[in-house]
Amino acid sequence: MTSLIDLFNELVSAGNGVIWGKLLIYILIGAGLYFTIMTRGIQFRFFGHMFSLLRGSRSGGEGISSFQALSTSLAARVGTGNLAGVAVAIYLGGPGAIFWMWMTALVGMATSFIESTLAQAYKVDHGDKTFRGGPARYIEQGLGQRWMAVAFSVCLIIAFGLAFNSVQSNSIAQAMDQAFGIPTWVVGIVLVVVVTPIIFGGLRSIARVAELIVPIMALFYLAIALFVVATNISELPGALALVFNSAFGLEEAAGGAVGYAVAQAMMQGIKRGLFSNEAGMGSAPNVAATATTSPNHPAAQGFMQMLGVFFDTLVICTATASVIILSEPALQDGDSPNGIQLTQIALSEHVGSWGASFVAIAILLFAFTSLIANYSYGESNIEYIAGERRSRPAVLVYRLAVLAMIMIGAVAQLKTIWNFADLSMGMMALINLIAILLLSPLAFAIFRDYERQLKAGVEPTFDPSQFPKLADKVDSSAWPTPPRAESRD
């Protein structure tokens, strides 16, 4: 039995090595650059417009608003990776890894726009004033490949719905145990008790909780980071120079290790950036599809999800990096602690002993919101696989399984399952990237339609009849043809 488990672990590790080390990173970056070029730098040209959409983003009627969908996707994106992942990137790749995280986020914003716009275009009416959709829907409807859609859904349920929730509960339990001495089993029980009414309340309940917690936790964390920067403002130019010099190997030029240093900085920065912002993974589109958009156009939620990538990596990850890089240089040496311990020690150096406790509380909030958001991704895909008739019992079984994984994850480290979850996430990302690359001409057309209406000085509205490839596949309840629609060919 042990030999079988060892063989399984070896196969999973080999699969992760191929997918994450040789395929996925390059495809994700390549796709992001392609989408950036084809939209003529959408993330730069429409940077201000993204923020202007926040003004009307809370108007979702009885359904889920654009802001709630953004908050839910941020709840999943902003997790322990923003605290521990950044520290690991700096530890393994040097300060230059942060520069490559920024670059990854910039191209990832275009990818996020494409996948979320497609999710909106192919969304379906759920019958309760909300919508459902995501990669599974646009793969089946857009490409006509249900087997591929089901494969994506299964991979997402394994990774986000089950395994990653055990990772998040384990992070919370360990942080509470180390900071306050609370037994992990107690933390597990409390998590199950708190999470149960939220997930049994459905996606609308999750969106309301995310809308409340995510902005507050992000603002508090950013306030601490800004305090650290303000109290070390004289060292900021040197820290920025360190990031850029390390990114291009200028620090190591004298030692002849430029190539290796740059490769490490790029690999760690790109990998951690992709893990953190999830652009192209196919996760965020599941919640992007649930929104009632304002303006009433698929591209509007595409812009909102671009904001999610911006806030996650270019704001929150940068905040963590600032705390670490502005600390004592010795903390960034190879013999120092890495991961969350590095973040805790660095913050304690700036603000005192309570810094470690603050990081523990931040982990609690970041990981807790990830728990409920990850659950929501899985629920949408469970409903897709089960179909309308069998969805209710299937969702009930899924909810119980999620609660069990939260409890188990709090008291045990399930490294084999977590490694398999990485493989599942890699597979779902590959499937999603193939789909959005094939469907990108439609996404580009939808974007041009939105841009054309903006330039004409009117509020964009979506008329699916103007898109021949979409007209007979769209859910008319989700996207009714607007009255007296004018041709936009």
In sequence order, what DSSP letters do the residues of 45-107 get, joined into one string? Answer: HTHHHHHHGGGGTT--TTSEEHHHHHHHHHHHHSSGGGTHHHHHHHHHH-THHHHHHHHHHHH
Query: Residue 486 has what pLDDT?
Result: 46
Among the ranges given (210-224, 294-308, 320-334), the one the predictor scored with the smallest mean pLDDT: 320-334
> What is the percent of the chain where pLDDT is above 70?
89
Query: Residue 255 has what pLDDT?
Result: 46
**Confidence grade of residue 442 (pLDDT, cut at 50, 70, 90):** very high
Mean pLDDT, residues 23-27: 83
Which has more confidence, 275 or 24? 24
DSSP string, 151-193: HHHHHHIIIIIIIHHHHHHHHHHHHHHHHH---HHHHHHHHHH
> What is the percent of the chain where pLDDT is above 90?
20
Handedness of CA 405, 209, 319, 106 (dihedral sign): positive
Return phi, psi of residue 335, to 5°: -90, 0
- Top mean-pLDDT range of 61-75, 156-170, 320-334, 469-483: 156-170
**Confidence grade of residue 5 (pLDDT, cut at 50, 70, 90):** low
pLDDT value at 413 more than 80: no
**Confidence grade of residue 376 (pLDDT, cut at 50, 70, 90):** confident
Give the Cα-Cα-Cα angle 311, 315, 318 (nearest 5 degrees).
140
Q: Collapse the DSSP code of 124 into the 3-class scheme (helix H, G, I; strand E, B; otherwise coil) and give the result.
A: strand
Whether the full predicted model's pTM is greater than 0.85, yes or no, is yes
CA-closest candidate to residue 279, choices 30, 111, 430: 111
Exposed e or buried b per residue across 90-109, where buried means at least 16 C-beta atoms within 10 angstroms of its C-beta: bbbbbbbbbbbbbbbbbbbb
Query: Residue 443 has what pLDDT?
Result: 93
Query: Residue 130 has what pLDDT?
Result: 78
Among the ranges given (101-115, 313-327, 351-365, 400-414), the one the predictor scored with the smallest mean pLDDT: 351-365
Mean pLDDT, residues 183-201: 89
Which has more confidence, 343 or 1? 343
Query: Residue 487 has what pLDDT?
Result: 45
78 token code pair: 């902003």
d(CA 344, CA 147): 45
pLDDT value at 350 more than 60: yes
Query: Residue 233 has what pLDDT?
Result: 82
**Confidence grade of residue 452 (pLDDT, cut at 50, 70, 90):** very high
Mean residue pLDDT of the chain comes to 81
**Confidence grade of residue 239 (pLDDT, cut at 50, 70, 90):** confident
Which has more confidence, 127 or 139? 139
pLDDT digits (tens, 9 = 90+) for 90-129: 777 778 888 888 888 899 999 999 999 999 999 988 777 7
- Top mean-pLDDT range of 169-173, 203-207, 347-351: 169-173
Among the ranges given (27-36, 252-261, 433-442), the one the predictor scored with the smallest mean pLDDT: 252-261
Distances (CA, A) of 329 to 81, 293, 355: 22, 47, 18
d(CA 197, CA 199): 6
Query: Residue 319 has what pLDDT?
Result: 82
Mean pLDDT, residues 306-319: 87
Mean pLDDT, residues 435-446: 94
Q: Collapse the DSSP code of 291 into the 3-class scheme (helix H, G, I; strand E, B; otherwise coil) and give the result.
A: strand
